[in-house]
Amino acid sequence: MDDAESAEALTRVLGLIRDVPDYPSPGILFRDITPVLADAEAFATVATELAALAGAADVIVGIEARGFLIGAAAALVAGLGIVPVRKAGKLPLVADSVTYELEYGTATLELPADTLAPGARAFVVDDVLATGGTAAATCALLADAGVEVEGFGALLELTALGGRDRLAPVPVHALLRA
């Protein structure tokens, strides 16, 4: 696919993202990627474009839960494995965990045991980059495990929230911006 075809395919993906006002709480505009996942052509576009960004990574790390779906698809296209970083309590064997601040309260993410050796080069994937707290916590978790974070890729970046800045110096890629 050349650049023009790629841009056209991504514009089509953007058109499939559904904006849901006041979900999950009043004042939040939720960007629902479900219609993108359900559309074979759009799903393939997302997988292919994210895979192209993985660069020198030797594994993709997907953030629960929508990061699993697009991260796994991208991993398959890139010929890489996928490691899920999960919310607390879902993994039988945990290598390490990180707790970070949300707008209200905290959240914990866990890295599965025996999946990433120190020195592994990971490309981290999630659906939406908002404030960057989730992605930054995931990158910190990986760095603590001795993993080199090659980059972070999102399907959609909400630029006004400044999440990209929280990830520095990790290179941040977004297929689409809003």
Q: How many other β-carbons are positioned within 10 Å of the β-carbon of residue 90?
A: 12
* Nearest residue (CB) to ligand AMP, 122 versus 130: 130
* Nearest residue (CB) to ligand AMP, 93 versus 160: 160
Report the Cα 86 to chain-centroid distance in Å.
Answer: 12
Q: How far is the CB of 161 from ligand AMP (least distance, A)?
A: 7
Which helix (H) or strand (E) covers residue 84, if one does?
strand 81-87
Single out the catalytic residue among 31, 66, 86, 166.
66
Single out the catalytic residue among 31, 49, 64, 103.
103
Q: Applying CB under 6 A, which residues contact ligand AMP?
A: 28-31, 63, 66, 126-135, 163
Could you tell me if 139 and 124 are in contact, meaning their C-beta atoms sit under 8 angstroms apart? yes
Alpha helices in the chain (DSSP H): 3-16, 34-38, 40-53, 66-78, 133-144, 163-167
Beta bridge partners, 110, equal 86, 97
Could you tell me if 57 and 82 are in contact, meaning their C-beta atoms sit under 8 angstroms apart? no
Q: How far is the CB of 126 from ligand AMP (least distance, A)?
A: 5
Closest alpha carbon to 23 in 128, 126, 167, 99: 128
Residue 12 is a catalytic residue: no
* Nearest residue (CB) to ligand AMP, 7 versus 29: 29
* Angle separating helix axes 66-78 and 40-53, nearest 10 degrees: 70
Q: How far is the CB of 1 from ligand AMP (least distance, A)?
A: 26
* Nearest residue (CB) to ligand AMP, 32 versus 58: 32
Residue 103 is a catalytic residue: yes
Q: How far is the CB of 50 from ligand AMP (least distance, A)?
A: 15
**Could you list the active site residues?**
66, 103
